[in-house]
Chain A
């Protein structure tokens, strides 16, 4: 093995990798946003909704958590068009990623919601708070605080999970890296650079989420 590593031919394409990074971030941010909304609705519905709704949500969570994300991407992109729902690769990626995260977020938030003592809710009721305010201030906020570390970890996994959406032709950092490998034939150099980019971005995201947590829940300590 004598082929020397050469970063020059790869670094000239750094702009393309950085464009890919913007796409990666876009998929991550959008799917985290939608996924969290699904998660909040799912967790509240699962814990406080009628029995049929609770079962429905449980079925959704189990279905998604027991199938690979790649298969979910394939179904949205390759199978839904056959029954009349055709989305571009980018939209398909956001849909599949959101549905995927939604299931995990539902389960994580449900744990938080169920950690709220019944007495706390009864106390809120006896104080005459409206159901909306009870859900928001007495249940959801402390619930999110309780599970915030798991939720952040799931968001970070989601950020890295976007790396497989190239399988349905959605362009992001990893897909662009694969294009570059095929163009420059410098696989080690490309993947090392891409690993460094992911490391920096994921590390930054972790710090940001930790900072956000301290900001939101500072009154706890």
Chain B
């Protein structure tokens, strides 16, 4: 126990040093309040460009997608330009903890575990996690995945759900990839029997030569995406909630959903 405490102390010291190093390297530090963002003259948002249709690169390699448009509209509403910081899915919480960004807008599913370290706005979008597989493969539920290789993006909602399913049903082999493009590459090259992903996955797969061979098999769960801010930053969070209410009411979010997901905005809970 004493050794563990010693390790803890060492860890705290090391961690503190790392944090000081990290925060001193990263300029400028994230603003705390709406006023500070406006005074600084730019909004810094973390995005992921490997998660189509929410965040991806267009023909000119510029970030685009549902999340990117939401971020740009947020900048417009605040009257400041948006600076994008690209993060990977596991990098989203650290980006807020180290105050590299003001907000994370990157298919950030609202979960109680994440809300311990950061705060969420009300949801601005929602979607379902589904299992996608070739049309010829008979899959109706999790039990049909036994003996199959199922790919997921590491740490996503689908990862959690399928890992839980694999604990109950032995024989489901789960392969975890670091990003969505690797996951899609793996299924297209025949390395996987099925993938767990968003309900938009089919649209993306259809762009490839053999994309028509895939279909959605069953729904794992529905998720809601919120905008992540630093823990306790109620000033910014409250403004975001108010702004989200207005763009939900005037149909802006629904238009974005139709544009990028080809389906209307689902009913979004508020809190």
Binding site for B on A (CB under 8 A): 1-5, 7, 11, 74, 77-79, 81-82, 86, 89, 166-169, 171, 175, 178-179, 181-183, 185, 187-189, 192-193
Question: Which B residues touch A168, using CB under 8 A?
Answer: 177, 182, 186
CB pair B90–A178 under 8 Å, yes or no, is: yes
Cβ-closest chain A residue relative to B14:
A192
**Cα–Cα distance between A3 and B189 once the two chains are bound (Å):** 42
Question: Which B residues touch A187, using CB under 8 A?
Answer: 90, 93-94, 97
CB pair A78–B186 under 8 Å, yes or no, is: yes
A-B contact list, 21 entries, CB within 8 Å: A1-B23, A11-B4, A74-B182, A77-B186, A81-B190, A82-B189, A166-B178, A169-B176, A169-B182, A178-B90, A178-B155, A178-B178, A179-B154, A179-B176, A181-B155, A182-B155, A182-B159, A185-B117, A188-B94, A192-B11, A192-B14
Q: Return B53 CB to nearest CB of chain A, in Å.
A: 22
**Cα–Cα distance between A82 and B190 once the two chains are bound (Å):** 8
B135 within 8 A of A: no
Q: Looking at the complex, which one of A77, A175, A193 makes contact with B191 (CB distance below 8 Å)?
A: A77
CB pair A5–B11 under 8 Å, yes or no, is: yes
Taking residues whose C-beta sits less than 8 angstroms from the other chain, chain B's interface range is 35 or more
**Cα–Cα distance between A89 and B189 once the two chains are bound (Å):** 13
Interface residues of B in 152-206 (CB under 8 A from A): 154-155, 159-160, 175-178, 182, 185-186, 189-191
**Cα–Cα distance between A7 and B4 once the two chains are bound (Å):** 9
Main DSSP-derived SS at the A contact region: helix
Binding site for A on B (CB under 8 A): 4, 7-8, 11-12, 14-15, 18-19, 23, 89-90, 93-94, 97-99, 113-114, 116-117, 151, 154-155, 159-160, 175-178, 182, 185-186, 189-191, 231
CB pair A5–B97 under 8 Å, yes or no, is: no
Main DSSP-derived SS at the B contact region: helix
Question: Which B residues touch A167, using CB under 8 A?
Answer: 177-178, 182
Q: Return A68 CB to nearest CB of chain B, in Å.
A: 15
Q: Looking at the complex, which one of B15, B97, B155, B185 makes contact with A179 (CB distance below 8 Å)?
A: B155
CB pair A1–B154 under 8 Å, yes or no, is: no
CB pair A178–B15 under 8 Å, yes or no, is: no
CB pair A1–B189 under 8 Å, yes or no, is: no
Cβ-closest chain A residue relative to B5:
A7
Question: Which A residues touch B4, using CB under 8 A?
Answer: 7, 11
Q: Looking at the complex, which one of B14, B116, B176 makes contact with A175 (CB distance below 8 Å)?
A: B176
